[in-house]
Amino acid sequence: LTPSPVIPKSSAKSYACQRRTPLKHHNLLLTEALELLSENAELGENEGRSVAFRRAAAILKTLPQAVQRMEDLQGLPCLGDHSLRVIKEMLEYGSSQEVESTRHSEQYQALKALTGIFGVGVKTAERWFRGGLRCPSDVAKSEERLNSAQQAGVLYHEDLSQRVSRAEADAIGQIVERAVQEVLPGAQITLTGGFRRGKETGHDVDFLITHPEEGKEEGLMPKVIQWLETQGVLLYQKTTRNSYLESKDGPSRPPHNMDRFERCFSIFKLDRSTGEGGPLAQAPGGEVGGCEGRAPGSELEPQHCSTGWKAVRVDLVVSPYSQFGFALLGWTGSKLFERELRRWAGKEKNMSLSSHALYDNSQRRYLRASTEEEIFSHLGLEYIPPCDRNA
């Protein structure tokens, strides 16, 4: 069988990092269905199945037109039997029974609602589900012990479940810029994550911070956080070392200076009218704008914060300048694109890629790079710009 003429050569490539995946594409009905099955598998902790459905969805996003017949899929990689069956059913009947019964199942809906709470992962959601909890308000009313992230997640759930707009992301960017310049002049901040890929809304706002003089960035995060705290901008923050990527990365060697690489999960208080953070004159712990009677640490009654300000999830990462290209590539996403880059590096190039470094296992040395372009080049890949990393 020869590949269908509608299939561009690049869509026949099997790794998402070899292809251009734009934000807007022509197969939304199909990709939404496959991604729902992927999400359901993830909620059931079946990672292999989840990734398989996500890869299948991703390949459909690269096609220049809507799939109409099964023949249109000839020559495409990443489509397993199960995905093909779902696509076939959707093309014939307009919907898939498996997708619709999953979408309406109590377990899927509850686990999605519960993991939608900031600080709640699949394991916790699963335990709560078995205990009879179904949604955030059940959690708020329950006797469950919540850690501080989950308390913030329940408290600000209403705001955090709203999408963040590009304008709000830019307003947050100005606040972070001000904080960073205040504590370390010359430091640079870059918007990463979905907004860098051109998304118009996000579930959070992601920033990468560095300084052109290597070493100057050390100790920056606590100072930035402290400045933001004194301005009354932070509703919640937790600073940690970055261990996420390395732990998922298998045998890659952590670079010796990785302990300097810090990140902060936070919730900002964004003023709705001005787009600025909380009133600068306001003392921390004082009355919070727009929300009557919300004392920190008081009972966990979810608050409606529609008047003065909005709670917004913000991720901050500090990277040494020498690792900036890797950090930028690693924090721009999408998650599947990142995963595919690492898989490509390992399987096809015998290299280990992280958001700190690229290690060549054959040459037994790190490959230096200061830009994303250089990293793609080391990996033997055509450069894919952020707007085409929406796998």
- 194 part of the interface to ligand TTP, by CB under 6 A: yes
- Which 337-366 residues touch ligand TTP, going by CB under 6 A? 338, 355
Whether 138 is catalytic is no
The distance of closest approach from Cβ of residue 62 to ligand TTP in the complex, given in angstroms and rounded to an integer, is: 18
Look up residue 196 and give its two tokens: 């860098």
Instruction: State the catalytic residue, choosing from 72, 159, 204, 249.
Output: 204
Interface residues with Mn ion (CB under 5 A) are: 193-194, 202, 204, 206, 290-291, 305, 307-308, 315
User: Which of 119, 290, 320, 330 forms a contact with ligand TTP (CB under 6 A)?
Assistant: 330
Angle at 186 between CA 175 and CA 209, to 5 degrees: 55
Stretch that binds ligand TTP, among 63-71, 200-208, 341-349, 377-385 (CB under 6 A): 200-208
User: Which of 83, 334, 352, 354 forms a contact with ligand TTP (CB under 6 A)?
Assistant: 334
Stretch that binds ligand TTP, among 24-32, 203-211, 281-289, 377-385 (CB under 6 A): 203-211
- Which 304-323 residues touch ligand TTP, going by CB under 6 A? 315
Question: Please, which residues bridge with residue 265 across strands?
Answer: 238, 315
Q: For strand 351-353 and strand 358-360, is the pairing parallel, antiparallel, or unpaired? A: antiparallel
Distances, alpha carbon 213 to alpha carbons 187, 210, 275, in Å: 9, 9, 31
Q: How far apart are CA 45 and CA 258, in angstroms?
A: 29
- Scored b (16 or more CB within 10 A) or e, 52-67 reads bbbbbbbbbbbbeeeb
* DSSP run (H or E) holding 384: none
Please state the three-class secondary structure of 74-86 as a single string.
Answer: CCCCCCCHHHHHH
- Residue 28 CB contacts under 8 Å (≥ 6 apart), including other chains: none
Residue with Cβ nearer ligand TTP (236 or 331): 331
Contact 236, 269 (CB under 8 A): no
- Residue 302 CB contacts under 8 Å (≥ 6 apart), including other chains: 136, 137, 140, 154, 155, 157, 158
Contact 292, 286 (CB under 8 A): no
Q: How far apart are CA 25 and CA 241, in angstroms?
A: 37
Whether 315 is catalytic is yes
The distance of closest approach from Cβ of residue 245 to ligand TTP in the complex, given in angstroms and rounded to an integer, is: 5
- 261 part of the interface to ligand TTP, by CB under 6 A: no
User: Which of 244, 280, 284, 287 forms a contact with ligand TTP (CB under 6 A)?
Assistant: 244
Q: Per-residue DSSP letters for 85-149?
A: HHHHHHHHHSS-HHHHHHHH-HHHHHHHHHHTSTT--HHHHHHHHHTT--SHHHHHHS-----HH
Nearest to 258 by CA among 375, 378, 376, 366: 366
The distance of closest approach from Cβ of residue 53 to ligand TTP in the complex, given in angstroms and rounded to an integer, is: 18
User: Which of 58, 179, 245, 345 forms a contact with ligand TTP (CB under 6 A)?
Assistant: 245
- 206 part of the interface to ligand TTP, by CB under 6 A: yes
244 binds, among Mn ion, ligand TTP, none (CB under 5 to 8 A by kind): ligand TTP
Residue with Cβ nearer ligand TTP (27 or 355): 355
Stretch that binds ligand TTP, among 64-72, 135-143, 202-210, 364-372 (CB under 6 A): 202-210
Q: How far apart are CA 338 and CA 353, in angstroms?
A: 10
Whether 360 is catalytic is no
Distances, alpha carbon 68 to alpha carbons 88, 98, 367, in Å: 10, 20, 45
- 136 part of the interface to ligand TTP, by CB under 6 A: no
The distance of closest approach from Cβ of residue 326 to ligand TTP in the complex, given in angstroms and rounded to an integer, is: 11
383 binds, among Mn ion, ligand TTP, none (CB under 5 to 8 A by kind): none
User: Which of 25, 157, 199, 342 forms a contact with ligand TTP (CB under 6 A)?
Assistant: 199
- 203 part of the interface to ligand TTP, by CB under 6 A: yes
Question: Please, which residues bridge with residue 63 across strands?
Answer: none
The distance of closest approach from Cβ of residue 73 to ligand TTP in the complex, given in angstroms and rounded to an integer, is: 27
290 binds, among Mn ion, ligand TTP, none (CB under 5 to 8 A by kind): Mn ion
Residues at the contact surface with ligand TTP, assessed by CB under 6 A: 193-194, 199, 202-204, 206, 244-245, 315, 330-331, 333-335, 338, 355
Annotated active-site positions, please? 204, 206, 315
